[in-house]
Amino acid sequence: MDWLTTVDHKKIAILYLIAGGFFFGIGGIEALLIRVQLWKPMNTFVTAQQFNELITMHGTTMIFLGVMPIIFAIMNAVIPLQIGARDVAFPFLNSLGFWTFLFGGLLLNLSWFMGGAPDGGWTAYAPLSSTTYSTTHGVDFYTIGLQIAGLGTLIGGINFLATIITMRAPGMSFMRMPMFTWTTFVTSAMILFAFPAITVGLVLLSFDRILGANFFNVAGGGNPVLWQHIFWIFGHPEVYILILPAFGIISEVVSTFSRKRLFGYSSMVFATILIAFLGFMVWAHHMFTTGMGPVANALFAIATMLIAVPTGIKIFNWLFTMWGGQITFNTANLFAIGFIPTFVMGGVTGVMLGSAPADYQFHDTYFVVAHFHYVIVGGLVLGLFSGLHYWWPKMFGRVLNETLGKIEFWTFIIGFHLTFFLQHFLGLVGMQRRVFTYLPNQGFDLMNMLSTVGAFLMGVGVILFLVNVVITARKPVGVENDPWGDGRTLEWAIPSPPPEYNFKQLPLVRGIDAYWKEKMAGNKEMTPAEPVGSIHMPSPTIIPFVMSVGLFIAGLGFMFTTDDFGNSFLNFLFNNYIVVIIGLGITFGSMIVHSLYDDAGWHIEPEEIDGKGAEA
Amino acid sequence: MTTLHAEQATNKLPHEPEKATLEGRNKILGFWLFLAGEAVLFGTLFATFLTLRNQVADGPSASELFSLPITAVATLILLVSSLTSVFSIQAMHRGNVKSLLTWLTVTVLLGLGFLGLEIYEFYEYVTHYGYGMTTSAFSSSFYTLVGFHGAHVIFGICWISLLIGQVARKGLTVVTAPKIYVSAMYWHFVDVVWVFVFTVVYLLGKVVG
């Protein structure tokens, strides 16, 4: 019950981690099933229809329900601590964002048990996603589930923006913010401008499917290319929404474990903003073969390649940070160092794909699959593992086992390269993506088999991480503030795990890497910026949970409005929008209740502060 | 909370009560950010409409459907409602609760007037022209864009009505003031979007064709 009503950002972080980890597991199992199907030619492990459902759900689950929430978990756990704040700007919305994500994700995955999962690919291109070609309710689960989950992401983005703008500790100017805070800030801005586009796209697609609208139906005057534009004007920035937080994590980890200040801090900030800006300018490079014409193709090709410049700045800055540093090769840093060459490889194939004429050759082959897995798994997932190992002691008060961590790293990265390095060549020799099987003796057989072996090796790596988590959980809580000894930013100045109120007194920030600066000046802790006083805390509330349940019910009701259940009562309920109205009634009713009863919160008085110890 | 309210009611409120607390300032900032997202949302809907506005299939086209006098009146009503919501904020800054409530009520009534005209318009299209969601790509994008705006108007009316009740009960405090300010921001935003709707949908459809 405590967990259903919490508005504490540290607990919400743990909720995001558990839920995101759960969906990451589901997405991983889907990936392994795909690889089992492809391990030999003419395999009949799954049918073509099941294969379509698997690839659609693997992509959708991993991007929206797996890695995004784990990013949000780390942001929630770390950002308020890094900027020296007691909480986020809107604790209520923080909780709402989590619950809408969870119920959206559950709705999407319910499709497996309710007549078929979405099968139009994770991009849901019209007309493949129209009722003509996708006859189950799968795509309805996709549009409505993602809609509800996307709402949560948007709320989270706005919350982090407001938090970082208004709640930084005294003395922390924008150019003194830690790099992870910067990337979170820029990522949140990208979420704000990218997600409303997919919101509209999903509305249009569900109207086409459920209300018989004609947006993408050519017979009624609609235009399927419109879907591609709307999808990618969101979808391309989404790629950077995923990778920028990983850049931030790598910047923190590399600099901490090199015992050096991040090289070129201000150029890193500038590069981050530039990447975000360019990320919005290049969406149509996903559509070179759609038939936009040579001028559009050339412009989008050039804009795409420009992104290599700020990304290159980042790569070199990480290398220069390590240059001459006292490097500690622990698990967190191994993942960070492993990230750098892996991501460079993904970037290089990105430039190759960004060349429009070459893209005609690579289009819809495994070369593309290899490229984006190098970026998303080799970039983001390695970044997330690095961040989790790095901040685990701060979140849970226990350090993850190092030996196991190193085995985990080597298993995962060897498995990863075995799986996806080969897929570049599979693509170059002509294997198409999205097909459920292939003929023998075309040069695909051995590489596919090895690729499957690699995928299972990655699975072993992830399981080892889980084993590590379980083993660590048995150890007692009790690491000091700064278990690495080299912590540079504010989160390491307070106990692990932090008390409910984070900072007893807000710290005074006197430079970049505020905590390191104090340590070098011989101080044991941060100089406080305020006297000890009573601390205002927000009250826990069940309303966000209830609101999300309402949306879940409304979404389910909406997609079955035109169905015949063969039962007059059910038909009456669904076909007259009664279920939708009940669901929305719950949601709006909760909003009204929330607005009528002002939450005054509660206070932790100075004499109680030391008693309120660590939790979670 | 009640004691806090009582305290504030007796004390004189600051000149800009909506910005007196960190919560209030956060709310206003957060709402600006939300409106930025809403701008993208409507931008995408406008782009969709502009792409599909001549795709009428077998259905009626814009110039056959629209009647400018009705939409011009609707525009006028909505723009005036923005003015009255400015008056309500000025009343709030003067600390005049009665005037605040009056102007909020006028704003809601004007909103209802606009909504009535829109419902009449949609009803006419459906019954007289057989012009529904499924008629053509033009009709789908028309009802989605204008309907989204209409849904925003309905939401605004409900929201401001609720606030009228709250202010009447609890008075003007540093808790209620940011809510009123934010709802006024929302209302202006909805009005600005309508100016674009009027231009892009109605004028472009009727005058340019």
The answer to whether residue B208 neighbours chain A at the CB level (below 8 Å) is no
Give, as one character, the DSSP assignment of residue A603.
Answer: E
Q: What is the pLDDT of residues A145-166, one digit of tens each?
A: 999 999 999 999 999 999 999 9
Q: What is the mean pLDDT of residues A250-276?
A: 97
Average pLDDT on A576-582 reads 92
Strands (DSSP E) along A82-220, which ranges? Answer: none
Give yes or no for B22 touching A (CB within 8 A). yes
Is A598 in contact with B57 (Cβ distance < 8 A)? no
Distance from CA of A74 to the nearest CA of B (A): 22
Flag if A223 and B55 touch (Cβ within 8 Å): yes
The CATH homologous superfamily of the domain defined by B3-208 = Cytochrome c oxidase, subunit III, four-helix bundle (1.20.120.80)
Q: Which residues from chain A sit within 8 angstroms of residue B135, using beta carbons?
A: 214, 220
Q: Is B152 on the interface with A (CB under 8 A)?
A: no
Q: Name the residue among A223, A230, A600 with its Cβ closest to that of B44.
A: A230
Asked if the Cβ–Cβ distance from A226 to B52 is below 8 Å, we say yes
8 A C-beta contact, residue A81 and residue A498: yes
CA-to-CA distance for A398 and A147, rounded, in angstroms?
37
How far apart (Å, rounded) are the C-alpha atoms in residues A2 and A121? Answer: 38
User: Taking the alpha carbons of A92, A94, A95, A101 in that order, is the dihedral positive or negative?
Assistant: positive
Average pLDDT over residues B197-209: 91
pLDDT by residue (tens digit) across B96-113?
999 999 999 999 999 999
Strand spans (E) along B26-135 = none
Q: Cα distance from B172 to chain A (closest Cα, Å)?
A: 13
- Closest chain B residue to A233, measured at CA: B44
Residue ranges covered by each domain of chain B: 3-208
Asked whether residue A614 carries a pLDDT value surpassing 70, the answer given is: no
Q: Which of A200, A214, A595 is closest, CB to CB, to B140?
A: A214
Q: Do B134 and A221 touch (CB under 8 A)?
A: no
Structure tokens at A611: 């008693």
Which tens digits make up the pLDDT trace of B20-56?
A: 888 899 999 999 999 999 999 999 999 999 999 999 9
Answer whether B40 sits within 8 Å of A197, measured CB to CB. Answer: yes
The rounded mean pLDDT for chain A is 94
Residues of A in contact with B37 (CB under 8 A): 154, 158, 192-193, 195-196
* Nearest one of A380, A395, A388 to A468, comparing CA atoms: A388
What pLDDT does A605 receive?
A: 86
Cα torsion through B52, B57, B62, B66, rounded to 10 = -130
Q: Within a 10 A sphere around the Cβ of A226, how many other Cβ atoms?
A: 20
**Cβ A60 vs Cβ A24: under 8 Å:** no
- In the 8-state DSSP scheme, what is residue A602? E
Contacts of B57 in chain A (CB under 8 A): 214, 219-221
Are the Cβ atoms of A193 and B138 closer than 8 angstroms? Answer: no
Band of pLDDT at residue A341, cut at 50, 70 and 90: very high
B 40-59 residues inside an 8 A Cβ radius of A: 40-41, 44-45, 47-48, 51-52, 55-57
**Chain A residue closest in CA terms to B170:** A596
Is the separation of the CB atoms in A283 and A190 below 8 Å? Answer: no
ipTM over 0.90: yes
With CB atoms and an 8 Å threshold, state whether B33 touches A161: yes
CB-CB under 8 Å, B1 with A214 = no
Kindly report, residue by residue over A423-480, the tens digit of the pLDDT. 999 999 999 999 999 999 999 999 999 999 999 999 999 999 999 999 999 999 889 8
Q: Looking at beta carbons, which residues of chain B come within 8 Å of A213?
A: 133-134, 140, 144
Query: Hey, are the CB atoms on A207 and B144 less than 8 Å from each other?
Result: yes
How far is the C-alpha of B18 from the C-alpha of B26, rounded, in Å? 10
Distance from CA of B80 to the nearest CA of A (A): 27
Minimum Cα–Cα distance from A219: chain B residue: B57
Contact B136 A197 (CB under 8 A): no
What torsion do the CA atoms of A434, A435, A441, A442 make, to the nearest 10 degrees? -50
Between the alpha carbon of residue A377 and those of residues A150, A347, A418, the distances in Å are 22, 13, 13
Q: Residue B3 and residue B108: Cα distance in Å, rounded?
A: 31
Q: In angstroms, rounded to a whole number, what is the distance separating the alpha carbons of residues A159 and A16?
A: 15
The single-letter code of the amino acid at A481 is N
- What residues of A are in the B interface, CB distance below 8 Å? 89-90, 93, 154, 158-159, 161-162, 165-166, 192-197, 199-201, 203-204, 207-208, 211-215, 217, 219-223, 226, 230, 233, 592, 595-596, 598, 600
Mean pLDDT of A8-13: 96
Whole-number pLDDT of residue B113: 97
The answer to whether B30 contacts chain A (CB < 8 Å) is yes
What pLDDT digit, counting tens, does each position of A220-232 carry? Answer: 999 999 999 999 9
Contact A592 B162 (CB under 8 A): yes
**pLDDT (tens digit, 9 = 90+) per residue, A356-400?**
999 999 999 999 999 999 999 999 999 999 999 999 999 999 999
Instruction: State the angle between helix axes of A366-375 and A224-256 in degrees (0 to 180), rounded to the nearest 10.
Output: 40
User: Which residue, among B42, B126, B141, would best test binding to A if mutated, counting the most A CBs under 10 Å from its CB?
Assistant: B141
CB nearest to A223's CB, from B1, B38, B51: B51
* Amino acid A611: pLDDT: 56
* pLDDT at residue A269, rounded to an integer: 97
Min distance B24 CA to chain A CA atoms (Å): 11
Q: What does the pLDDT look like over B46-58, one tens digit per residue?
A: 999 999 999 999 9
Q: Work out the minimum CA distance from B78 to partner chain A, whole angstroms.
A: 25
The answer to whether residue B166 neighbours chain A at the CB level (below 8 Å) is yes
pLDDT at B11: 54
The residue in chain A having the minimum alpha-carbon distance to the alpha carbon of residue B50 is A226
Residue B191 has pLDDT above 90, yes or no: yes
- Chain B interface mutation, best of A92, A153, A158, A199, highest count of B Cβ atoms under 10 Å: A158
Tell me the residue length of chain A.
616
Q: Would you say residue B76 has pLDDT above 80?
A: yes
Distance from CA of B45 to the nearest CA of A (A): 7
Kindly state the percentage of chain A with pLDDT values over 90: 90
pLDDT at B15: 83
- State pLDDT tens for residues A77-123: 999 999 999 999 999 999 999 999 999 999 999 999 998 899 999 99
Among the partner residues B1, B137, B166, nearest to A220 by beta-carbon distance = B137
* Best mutation target, B26, B45, B176, to test chain A (most A CBs within 10 A): B26
CA distance A37 to A32: 9
Q: Which helix (H) or strand (E) holds A535?
A: strand A535-537
- Residue A609 pLDDT more than 80? no
How far, in Å, CA of A463 to CA of B123, rounded?
60
- Which of B30, B139, B144 lies nearest to residue A204, judging by beta carbons? B144
B3 touches chain A (CB under 8 A): no
**Number of cross-chain residue pairs from A and B with Cβ atoms under 8 Å apart:** 117
